[in-house]
Amino acid sequence: MRDQHSKQFHDHCFRDVDPLESLQDLPNLVELQLLETYEGAELCFKAGRFRRLVILDLRGLKGLRWVKVEAGSMPHLEELIMVECELVEELPSGIEHLTNLKYLELNDMSDGLISSLNRDLERGNYWKIAHIPKVWVGDSYYAGNYLCSAFGMYKIFRLAVGEAVREMPLAKLKNKYRKISSLEKAHSGWEDEYEGSSK
């Protein structure tokens, strides 16, 4: 824990106790990080709570299956980050209510959740995040981050050499950059392709 404006919890502080019950009424909380701290299946952000929260970071919540955002909760949230919450199969219910959200990051999440973001998928969930200016989808197995465009296509973002020129569906992108034995090989391959596409 740092100060009244920013709280960080980690290492199973809460286990099966819902941390939101004791945090939701803190009047000055603007940043909340839950790092491997909760083993329950659900987090519910209730209406009228977390009124000043700007950044929410959920990482390594191995038992988490559902996140619910009631209308009127977190009205000023600008960044939502979810990493290694691998049992979560759907976007947070009610994410469409977060009208001020500017950045959504999903790293090492379930394939089911990521696949549901395809804009062309019938009954998919792309419409729920269409209002968010920047959406990042990452997977450490592929040693990269994927920038979701407005058309349900993705570009791999290479930290060392910049962005790829081409966009492609996520399934094709993952097949192209399937698991590589080392980051050095990945980096070398990316540089070769980047140079080739620039000629």
Residue 185: the pLDDT is 47
Residue 115: the pLDDT is 81
**Buried b / exposed e along 75-91 (16+ C-beta atoms within 10 A):** eebebbbbbbbbebeeb
The whole-model pTM stands at: 0.71
Structure token digits, residue 1: 């824990």
Residues of the chain with pLDDT under 70: 1-16, 139-199
Residue 18: the pLDDT is 85
Chain centroid, CA 42 distance in Å: 16
For the chain, how many residues are written? 199
Residue 55: the pLDDT is 97
Residue 63: the pLDDT is 93
Helix, strand, coil % (nearest 5) of the chain?
A: 20, 30, 50
Residue 13: the pLDDT is 56
